[in-house]
Chains A and B, each alone.
Chain A
């Protein structure tokens, strides 16, 4: 165990000899902080939020150990509190234990074995507690996502369905065949929107639950796949798409995550273009050097306003009402980047364009 991994223990006692003895006995295995009075003890607690266990003597001149713990509990709830006391104070000790202010008490004079077993139990209790609060945070996060999910389902699934229903209904009032065709096109668009949403949700769950499948990746092939996928889009929207790959070494990662990253960022780059720009440009540059792959996706599209840039990776967040989007794409990208141990950065100038920079280490 390195020094920083040692369990940190605070011992508060008015008798200096006890402090010295305690420290001498346990300093090898634990980091021991000692305090001669409650003021000193609070200073330690303030400076060391990682103190796990507090030992405190019951009989002290300024206040009793029970009083100190009652106070300390509300200010520093995390450390496990253990009282050192003789039999004579047993009434107040029992009361204090019952009120939850003390985890254990150790009889004076204590033996090393008493203290060691107490530390062991207290540490286990501390670990379980902190694990629990960590799990609680995770659970809260999952719950928040679920709530947003339920809200968006009504909008993103029911929305297009209602458009289809509406279009079918309006078509009944129309005689002109061209206008009816227009309604059919509208229905087709809504169906595609729905399908995209479902595919995004599929990505979301594959990322959350899927195992990584690490294998060698040839970026030339990956880029070729993407280029083929978007050929229609780039031709139709008249976008100049330039891809450049530089890879002279083997690179290993999870290909599905990589594809989710590239396809979402590229489709965004193609989608959020300025309609009347004559020189629509999307550039993809990939470079593999010394085990690090650097991916840059750059467009000269509508850009992202500065006030929205910190939120774009949030679930269901949309920074523009232009074009159709579900607000899941970039969330999935961030998830995928994290899953393969990479980092993502974005720079954008509103009305000028956006650049995403991703670095991924080989596995």
Chain B
């Protein structure tokens, strides 16, 4: 029996959001999955609902694309890290990258709140690591 998990997917590509959702659903139909095409909207959502999420109820995982127009992954993480500590603690950020360029992966890993990495295309095994880790 899998643990109940909320997922927030942030990716400007509608197709990729859908794909990640589908892949998660192949693992467990009961995941609660929310997708955002814009990092700003995701941030606003977390900012409004984050405080009300009881810390112990469910695991909240944010799957965050790095390269996006307007607010990109880096900016999102910077904004996220200004949120109250108890809100931040409710979430686990997993950076999603299609980049072959190591510089961007190195840069995103300097942020404390980024704990996991996923590379596109996402492999089922790496998702399982994320869920169980």
Contact = CB atoms under 8 A, between A and B. Distances in A.
Interface in B89-126: 98-101, 120-122, 124
Given A321-B69, A327-B69, A170 B19 contact: yes
Interface stretch (A119-127, A150-158, A198-206, A237-245): A150-158
A165 B122 CA distance: 9
A320 B121 CA distance: 24
A163 B100 contact: no
A321 B37 contact: yes
A322 B37 contact: yes
Contacts of A162: 16, 98, 120-121
Interface in B22-70: 22-23, 26, 37-38, 67-70
A324 B13 CA distance: 8
Contact of B70 (A158, A160, A320): A320
Interface residues of A, number: 28
Interface string A171-193: 00110000100010010011000
A170 B98 contact: no
A163 B69 CA distance: 18
Interface string A310-346: 0000000111111010010000000000000000000
A147 to B, nearest CB: 11
Nearest to A159: B98
A189 B122 CA distance: 19
Interface in B7-29: 12-13, 15-16, 18-19, 22-23, 26
A321 B98 contact: no
B15 A163 contact: yes
Interface string A289-317: 00000000000000000000000000001
Contacts of A163: 13, 15-16, 19, 121
A318 B13 CA distance: 13
A169 B121 contact: yes
Contacts of B67: 154-155
Contacts of B120: 159, 162, 166
A327 B70 CA distance: 12
Binding site secondary structure of chain A: helix
B38 A321 contact: yes
A167 interface: yes
Given A151-B101, A166-B122, A159 B13 contact: yes
Given A318-B69, A320-B70, A186 B19 contact: yes
Contact of A321 (B15, B16, B18, B70): B70
Contacts of A322: 37
Contacts of A317: 69
A167 B17 CA distance: 11
Contacts of A319: 69-70
13 contacts: A155-B98, A162-B121, A166-B16, A166-B120, A166-B121, A167-B15, A167-B19, A170-B23, A174-B22, A186-B18, A318-B70, A319-B70, A321-B69
Shortest 7 CB-CB contacts between residues of A and residues of B: A318-B69, A166-B121, A162-B120, A321-B38, A173-B26, A165-B121, A321-B12
Interface of B: 12-13, 15-16, 18-19, 22-23, 26, 37-38, 67-70, 98-101, 120-122, 124
Interface of A: 151, 154-155, 158-160, 162-163, 165-167, 169-170, 173-174, 179, 183, 186, 189-190, 317-322, 324, 327
